[in-house]
């Protein structure tokens, strides 16, 4: 009799934190190319050329920065085992508040302060939106996964209603969208790319702060313990409810900040329907966070890979090789192979006779 036995590894797989993401990306791309070949007869070689070119395209930097930030937001929550699926909604709430300040308040005309106010207000809005789910989780016991997910749609539609109604612009040529925000609020382009200096600065500041928080502060340690044993955290005299709210609040703050940055840097206005306006960064960020193995230092690389794959998908779309689904095909395949690779990094299969 031959048995296949699945065993938990007693020792973690060496270099798992590098092997798992790399293998899952390679296998994910391979899987997508097989599907594309079978479905649309796209020759794998051409596809690989396309991918290689995407990885070196200057347009990748913009998404890399944005996704690094969303990744940071989600790593905070995920490390604490708080499954924030709502970065998308928090992003849009940040965008909403920034739009309001930019279009309808006198602050918008003050040079530097206006930008900073928009970004910070975005952070506050994102945090509050996430805290809504945090309070429901901590005090009512509602699972944060469906709550944060559903709040994404609420955020979309709130913004949609505003853009469709009271915020509809005067100079829109029949489009349903707001006016452009004043030019002094626009972010500064990094020459030769589509990315912005302010976003890069935010990545550096927030990234360092989060890294420091997890490594050197008691709050960071508590968040990590919350992720592995909340009962111990409670028994050590920490208010676990507060920690849950804090995890979501911090996570939402960063996502909201990104929403504001995206408005100031890229769209300069909000168009109806808002859910089609962006790439769904809140969801892409989930993939980025997982590919980084929840390590802050690995986030930029994970974000770079995901952005490049996204660019590949968009290029193919433009070339008429498929619809928006191509992007999702890449992302879905990588997430699938990642999940499988992660399992194999923790378990091993042994043949027994």
Binding positions for another protein, rule: CB under 8 A: 3, 5, 7, 10-11, 216-219, 221-222, 224-225, 227-229, 231-239, 350, 352
Sequence-distant (6+) residues with CB within 8 A of 256 are 90, 91, 93, 94, 97, 122, 123, 124, 125, 126, 127, 129
**Minimum distance between the CB of residue 228 and another protein, rounded to whole angstroms?**
4
Q: Which is nearer to another protein, 175 or 232 (CB)?
A: 232
**Minimum distance between the CB of residue 8 and another protein, rounded to whole angstroms?**
10
Q: Which is nearer to another protein, 235 or 276 (CB)?
A: 235
**Minimum distance between the CB of residue 219 and another protein, rounded to whole angstroms?**
7
**Minimum distance between the CB of residue 230 and another protein, rounded to whole angstroms?**
9
**Minimum distance between the CB of residue 246 and another protein, rounded to whole angstroms?**
13
- Residue 17 has, within 13 A of its CA and on its CB side, a CA count of 10
Q: Which is nearer to another protein, 170 or 352 (CB)?
A: 352
**Minimum distance between the CB of residue 109 and another protein, rounded to whole angstroms?**
39
Cα-flanking dihedrals φ and ψ of residue 14, to 5°? -65, 140
Longest dimension (CA), the chain: 79
Q: Which is nearer to another protein, 3 or 171 (CB)?
A: 3
Please say whether the dihedral angle defined by the alpha carbons of residues 330, 94, 151 and 276, taken in this order, is positive or negative.
negative
C-beta separation of 66 from 310 below 8 A: no
Residues across the chain = 353
Q: Which is nearer to another protein, 124 or 223 (CB)?
A: 223
Cα-flanking dihedrals φ and ψ of residue 43, to 5°? -65, 130
Q: Which two tokens stand for residue 154?
A: 């609420």
Q: Which is nearer to another protein, 240 or 314 (CB)?
A: 240
């Amino acid at each position: 009799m031959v048995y296949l036995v699945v065993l938990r590894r007693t020792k973690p797989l060496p270099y798992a934190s590098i092997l798992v993401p790399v293998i899952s990306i390679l296998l994910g791309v391979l899987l997508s190319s097989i599907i594309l070949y079978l479905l649309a007869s796209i020759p794998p070689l051409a596809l690989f050329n396309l991918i290689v070119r995407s990885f070196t395209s200057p347009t990748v930097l913009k998404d890399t920065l944005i996704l690094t930030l969303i990744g940071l937001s989600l790593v905070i929550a995920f490390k604490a085992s708080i499954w924030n699926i709502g970065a998308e909604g928090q992003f849009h709430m940040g965008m909403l508040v920034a739009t309001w300040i930019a279009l309808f308040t006198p602050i918008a005309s003050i040079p530097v302060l206006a930008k900073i106010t928009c970004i910070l207000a975005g952070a506050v809005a994102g945090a509050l939106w996430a805290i809504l789910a945090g309070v429901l989780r901590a005090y009512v016991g509602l699972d944060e996964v469906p709550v944060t997910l559903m709040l994404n749609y609420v955020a979309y539609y709130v913004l949609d209603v505003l853009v469709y109604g009271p915020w509809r612009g005067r100079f829109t040529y029949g489009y349903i969208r707001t006016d452009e925000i004043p030019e002094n609020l626009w972010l500064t382009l990094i020459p030769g790319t589509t990315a912005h200096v302010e976003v890069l600065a935010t990545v550096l500041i927030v990234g360092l702060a989060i890294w420091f928080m997890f490594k050197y502060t008691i709050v960071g340690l508590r968040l990590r313990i919350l992720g592995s044993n909340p009962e111990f955290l409670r028994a050590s005299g920490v208010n676990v409810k507060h920690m849950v709210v804090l995890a979501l609040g911090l996570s939402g703050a960063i996502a909201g900040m990104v929403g504001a940055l995206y408005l100031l840097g890229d769209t300069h206005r909000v168009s109806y329907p808002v859910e089609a306006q962006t790439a769904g960064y809140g969801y892409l960020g989930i993939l980025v966070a997982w590919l980084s193995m929840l390590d802050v230092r690995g986030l930029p690389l994970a974000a770079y890979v995901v952005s490049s794959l996204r660019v590949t998908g968009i290029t193919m779309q433009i070339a008429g090789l498929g619809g928006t689904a191509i992007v999702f095909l890449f992302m879905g395949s990588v997430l699938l192979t990642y999940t499988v690779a992660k399992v194999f990094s923790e378990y091993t299969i042994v043949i027994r006779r």
